[in-house]
Structure 1
Amino acid sequence: MTWLIAARTVQGAGGGAIQAVASIIISDLVSLKERGVYNSLIGLTWGVACTLGPLVGGAFAQQGNWRWIFYMNLPIAGLSAALVFFSLKLRKPEGRTREKLARMDWVGNILIIASTSACIIGLTWGGIQYAWNSAHVLGPFIVGLCGIGAFLYYEAKFAKYPMAPLSLISNGTSISGYAQIFALPVINLAVTYYQETYYQACKGATAIRSGVLTLAVSLCLAPAMIICGLSITISKGYRVQLWLGWVVLIVAMGLMSTVDSRTELVKPQVYTGLVGTGVGILYAGTYFPVLAPLPISENAHALSFFIFCRSFAGVWGVTIGGAILQNQLQKRLPAEFLQELPQGVALAFSAIPSINNLEDPLRSDVRQAFAKSIASIWQVMVGIAGIGLISSLFMKAFLLHTQLDERWGLDEKQLQQSDQATIENDA
């Protein structure tokens, strides 16, 4: 297990870097005004991957060949690396390697990595390995939050080359964009994890079948991203699309909260399709309010912080959902079923395959307990979607940039002054 965790850490570092660098490259090659189309193309590839991934992974896991989930990525990663090496031709910033390394914000990186890791440890242990009010959970969580505060203070006061300059959150529109991209993955990851739990616990679905039943999310997400991206390119605006996305998501989560174990199978599929539509619209549009008010020289910083917020928020989605599910199952599961779990609700997930073997009425009671507990997650997600909608009301309508950052040789201060003048002229 230690080796698996270490390997996943390396994988996560590589995956996070790829996400950030891919977005930065596109921002260097395509102006913000035209970027909606390219976001749509990325959304299409992402939608296909999200559709195939759970099916293939579920098939391997069900057959006991879970290692192939990792093996199959080797040729895919190798092909991608070859395409990048031979096809991606970009200008290199001037300067020697030592000078570039000196411009790295090493202290800031160490602070934010250590702080977020501490928060993730607390969130992961909470309610599963240790009680939420235990020192094992509160200790790393408090240390992590204090560390994030120290990171922000260091970036504002001491960092010579800050990785997250305060200029990124110097206006209400950018803050609104960051708030929206933090709320969105909380909902998306909760649905991704716990809707499959519903199908397996309440409908007796296998891992493969539950993956098939959740295809509605991915099948609706990709076209929603494409349409939203095209509409932003054509209309040169982003606010109406984001408001629509949040409204769709609130309605979808509200409908999902009405589902129980006896609900016809088609209804949760339609509702999750609505979730995919809202999520697709929002994923395609949320970074426009982040970037539009900022100088183009801040693209790299802004996009890196944007992707950090998106990734960090995903942990909260899984953790919040898990905490709600554990607490609700503790209240709702029949005592007769709990007696079969020597460690209580903490092992309820591992007992899901055995639900089909229970006799009625115990089986129906257990399924209903899972359904009502998962419905409580969706009720909380309605509130989080409401927070996203409220934060979107603070966006202003900025003109989308038509310029590209092609002046790497200039001094950074001169770049920012020139870009700010360009924004004021556009406005």
Structure 2
Amino acid sequence: MVVDAEKDKPRGAKGKGSAFWLSFVAVVVSTFLSALDLTAVSTALPTITDSLHDGDDFVWVGSAYVLSSTAFLPLCGHLADVFGRHLTMLISIVFFALGSALAGTAQSMNMLIAARTIQGIGGGRIINLAETIMSDLVPLAERGLYQGILGMTWSFASGIGPPIGGALAARGAWRWLFYLNLPVTGIAFALVMVFLQVRTPTGSARDKLAKVDWLGNCIIMAGATLAMIGLTWAGVRYPWDSAKVLTPLIIGFTLIITFFVYELKVPTEPTIPFEILRNRTSLGGFLATLSHGITSISMIYFMPVYFQACCGASPLTAGVDMLSTGLVIAPWALACGASISILKKYRPALILGWIFMIVGFGLLSTLKADSSLGAWVGFQFIISAGIGIYYPGTIFPILAPLPVSYTAAMLAFLAYLCSFGQTWGITIASTILQNQLKTKLPESFASQFPEGVSIAYAAIPELHKLDGSLLNEVRVAFAESLAVIWQTMIGISVLGGIALLLMKEILMSDFADENYGLVVSKESADEKTASKDDEAPRNVTVVEV
């Protein structure tokens, strides 16, 4: 229940002018750009690994992007509050473009990983800022449809990313996967520069820099980086009990704990206000987001492995086979947002998405090497519906109970958890696949791959050389190994569903943070001032009872 001291007072017209729609287009294009790049790499990984002759560090091509975006997200939220959304978004797009150019010219795996790190700094911030700007422009009570459109954009880009990556990989042109980002980046930069005219905090650069919690952000960046390095190496490059895994894991998680203690005790303007973690509904939303990040990325990254290893698909065909995922996720994301706008409730949609994900992963775990086309298309349909619902859905329980002044910090932490979950998802699934293939593949085939090399991505380019009997054994081994991944995701989805029990249905606010809204003309500002003169000051107290 929400106590709103003056909820009957009108907030003015809800119509949206051209300035809003142009700003919204800028946000949507930026979101599409970041999401497309994150997923397009999945089907091209075997080709990239073979081209650069380095299977040892394959997992870093995906993980470096997620790691850098995760490490910088808390700082991103703070910078967006201090320097404004407009400048921060432009800088993020520049980082993304620079990383794309460097990735396209990479001559080694190390160079590609470094480029993907730079890309991730920009790409992660773009997604986070898109959510934050949308929260500034549209009150939470009205945001369902717009959030659904953002979710649909992310989902659609995620769906067409694998076939685009596959098509380019099949032609030996995987570098164009990164080069093609450059013209789209240019369009996004121009749209943001010209049309995203939102308010920027006043004050000198020195005063703004003084407000940033530099020490806290350094602690969380170092902690997140070390923790994810350990997670990325664990079970794939080095055993879990190796010092090279345990050392960064222990130091990383110690620093993360230190960060939370520091934030609670020291800074006057903390990076993460702890009120966002004390509220059970917001906490449930954060935990559901973490679960969704783990499960969704595992499906998007490793279904192409099923198509290429078990079905004999080329990278292009595997990407096309993944279209049923993207084409389902997108409309369900939009439907989720629209239903929340109409019903003014978020729990029914999240419960439905949770059911779809558990059932979907359960069905995926039954896939065999010779399963029919109807089986894997139908199973993808069900799980993709759940993934699509959760893309926009978890934002509402997180934002509903708390003041709008916390929006940037909450969404930065939300994106941090989602990215951290994606890193866990890639790591957990990669570790399971590596370990299962070691035991299930025929010894005569597995022995050719040295220790520390990803068997899955090294083996796929070699499958066409195998005869019928051995090829069938290898495909069965891949199907059985992938089934263990899907079974694990069932358990993680169940844990995410438990988070729903923490949530209450909170009345969503009908106002946004005016400190970061659209810049209005003098005439519009005068009208707004005159309108406010007729109203008593609106003080809203939001509490959960």
The interval holding the TM-score normalised by the smaller chain is: over 0.9
Is 1:181 matched up with 2:296?
no
Q: CA deviation at 1:128?
A: 2.2
Q: Which residue of 2 aligns with 1:287?
A: 395
Do 2:237 and 2:453's aligned partners in 1 also have CA atoms closer than 8 Å? no
The CA deviation string for residues 93-119 of structure 1, in whole angstroms up to 9 with x for no partner, is: 121121111111111111111111101
One-letter amino acid of the counterpart of residue 283, structure 1: Y
TM-score normalised per structure 1: 0.94
State the distance in 1 between where 2:511 and 2:540 align: 12
Given the superposition, is the C-alpha separation of residues 383 and 142 from structure 1 closer, same or farther in structure 2, using an over 3 Å criterion?
Answer: same
Q: 1:265 aligns with which of 373, 376, 382?
A: 373
**1:423 equivalent in structure 2:** 542
Alpha carbons 2:201, 2:515 under 8 Å: kept = no
For residues 152-191 of structure 1, the aligned pairs below 5 Å read 152-191=260-299
Distance 1:405 1:342, change over 3 A: closer
- Name 1:321's counterpart in structure 2: 429
- Residues 407 and 367 of structure 1: CA distance in aligned 2, closer, same or farther (over 3 Å): closer
Sort the Cα spacing of 1:205 and 1:421 in 2 relative to 1 into closer, same or farther, 3 A: same
The answer as to 2:320 corresponding to 1:201 is no
Deviation at 1:88, TM superposition (A): 0.9
Residue 483 (structure 2) aligns with: 375
CA distance in 2, matches of 1:243, 1:420: 33
CA offset at residue 419 of structure 1? 8.9
Separation in 1 of the partners of 2:211 and 2:380? 45
What is the alpha-carbon distance in structure 1 between the residues aligned to residue 290 and residue 327 of structure 2?
Answer: 23
Aligned pairs for 1:129-278 (under 5 A) are 129-278=237-386
Aligned Cα RMSD in Å?
1.7
Tell me if structure 1 keeps the 8 A contact 2:234–2:245: yes
Contact in 2 for aligned 1:187/1:317 (Cα 8 Å): yes
Cross-structure match for 2:73: none
- 2:187 is aligned, of 71, 79, 94, to 79
User: Could you tell me which residue of structure 2 aligns to residue 112 of structure 1?
Assistant: 220
Asked if 2 retains the 8 angstrom alpha-carbon contact of 1:217 and 1:274, the reply is no
1:361 partner SS: helix
Aligned partners of 1:320, 1:309: CA distance in 2, in Å? 16
Would you say 1:94 and 2:202 are equivalent positions? Answer: yes
Q: Does 1:7 align with 2:126?
A: no
Give distance in 2, aligned partners of 1:189 and 1:324.
15
Deviation of 1:161 after TM superposition, in Å, equals: 1.4
Deviation at 1:360, TM superposition (A): 2.7
The one-letter amino acid of 2:257's match is G
**CA displacement at 1:344 relative to structure 2:** 7.8
Deviation at 1:354, TM superposition (A): 2.1
2:465 aligned residue (344, 352, 357): 357
Q: What is the rounded CA distance, in whole Å, between the counterparts of 2:442 and 2:295 in structure 1?
A: 29
Partner in structure 2 of residue 301 of structure 1: 409
User: C-alpha distance in 2, partners of 1:346/1:291?
Assistant: 40
Are residue 389 (structure 1) and residue 508 (structure 2) matched? Answer: no
Cα distance in structure 2, aligned partners of 1:264 and 1:344:
34
Q: After superposition, what is the alpha-carbon deviation per residue over 1:364-420, rounded to whole angstroms, capped at 9, x for unaligned?
A: 111101100000000000000000111111101100001222257xxxxxxxxx998
Consecutive unaligned residues in structure 1, runs of 5 or more: 409-417
Displacement after TM superposition at 1:346 (Å):
3.4
- Contact between 1:186 and 1:318, CA under 8 Å: does it hold in 2? yes
Deviates further, 342-351 or 182-191: 342-351
Instruction: Choose which of 144, 147, 150 in structure 2 pairs with 1:39.
Output: 147
Q: CA deviation at 1:69?
A: 1.2
